[in-house]
Amino acid sequence: MIHPTAIISPNATVAEGVHIGAYTIIGDGVTVGAGCKFHSHVVVESNTTIGEGNEFYPFASIGARTQDLKYEGEPTSLVIGDRNVFRESVTIHRSTSKTVPTKIGNDNNFLAYAHVAHDCEVGDHCIFSNNGTIAGHVVVGDYAIISGLAGVHQFCRIGRHSIIGGCSKIVQDVPPFTIADGSPAELRGVNLVGMKRRGFNKEEVREVKNAYKAFFLDKEQNMQTPLENKTEATGLIAEIRDFIIAAEGRGVTR
């Protein structure tokens, strides 16, 4: 299962049954879980932990040193979950922080040339289309889609079940369940297709539509209060409201 031209550090831990293709390099301190497949010319650098069932295509660079200019060479790390796909020339960098790694969840699909920078956190079931790029300290929620050639500014949050249009420039947080598009991006509506595909029922879709109208279309609505002047919001309405309240620094895309 290991090609004779592959180079594996004696300080790496590789589970049984892992396929490692030609000219692949597995560096010091790397841990690889069962069922992973590395096609040819993949590079995995130090202090990277990889779960089970991941697949890496040629020229992917995984766990490379952060590009953050504040980095002074201290040991940092990258943690990858299970069943992710990293297509050709994808780049995933280790963190700058010594205590908090860059994190990739489970069941994500990173298409060619996608980039995840230092100190990012990507949830589960996300799609990064070709050249989808996130800068440092970005948080991406579950089932989010970053379309081709889109770029996300550092410290932004991408809410779960949201979608970012192709070639978009994201400079503020993108709320859950929404569509953001443009340069700079603006909200274009609710991600109805995505919600339908993920099995949300009609009542949940109605909640999100109402929240979207109140928080983003009604100019007189106070975004820190629930809809209909209730003392408490519940469900998806509360999730969107709380996401807005938690925005710091860069604000929320509208």
Query: CATH no. for residue 52?
Result: 2.160.10.10
- The answer on 200 and 178 residing in a single domain is no
Instruction: Report residue 249's pLDDT band, with 50, 70 and 90 as the boundaries.
Output: confident
Instruction: Report residue 232's pLDDT band, with 50, 70 and 90 as the boundaries.
Output: low
CB 241 within 8 A of CB 215: yes
Tell me which residue range forms the domain holding 47. Answer: 7-190
- The answer on 214 and 101 residing in a single domain is no
- The answer on 153 and 41 residing in a single domain is yes
Give the active site residue among 21, 27, 132, 136: 136
Give the active site residue among 68, 82, 119, 142: 119
- The answer on 182 and 60 residing in a single domain is yes
Give the active site residue among 118, 125, 137, 161: 118
Closest by CA to 194, choosing from 180, 182, 179, 207, is: 179
Instruction: Report residue 207's pLDDT band, with 50, 70 and 90 as the boundaries.
Output: very high
- The answer on 151 and 208 residing in a single domain is no
Q: Is 119 a catalytic residue?
A: yes
In this predicted structure, the answer to whether residue 203 has a pLDDT above a threshold of 70 is: yes
- The answer on 168 and 82 residing in a single domain is yes
Would you state the pLDDT for residue 123? 98
pLDDT tens digits, residue range 162-187? 999 999 999 999 999 999 999 999 99
Q: What residues contact 46, with CB distance under 8 A and at least 6 apart?
A: 27, 28, 29, 30, 63, 75, 94
Would you state the pLDDT for residue 227? 42
Query: Is 155 within the bounds of a domain?
Result: yes
- The answer on 229 and 118 residing in a single domain is no
pLDDT tens digits, residue range 60-117? 999 999 999 999 999 999 999 999 999 999 999 999 999 999 999 999 999 999 999 9
The proportion of the chain whose per-residue pLDDT surpasses 70, expressed as a percent, equals 94
The proportion of the chain whose per-residue pLDDT surpasses 90, expressed as a percent, equals 91
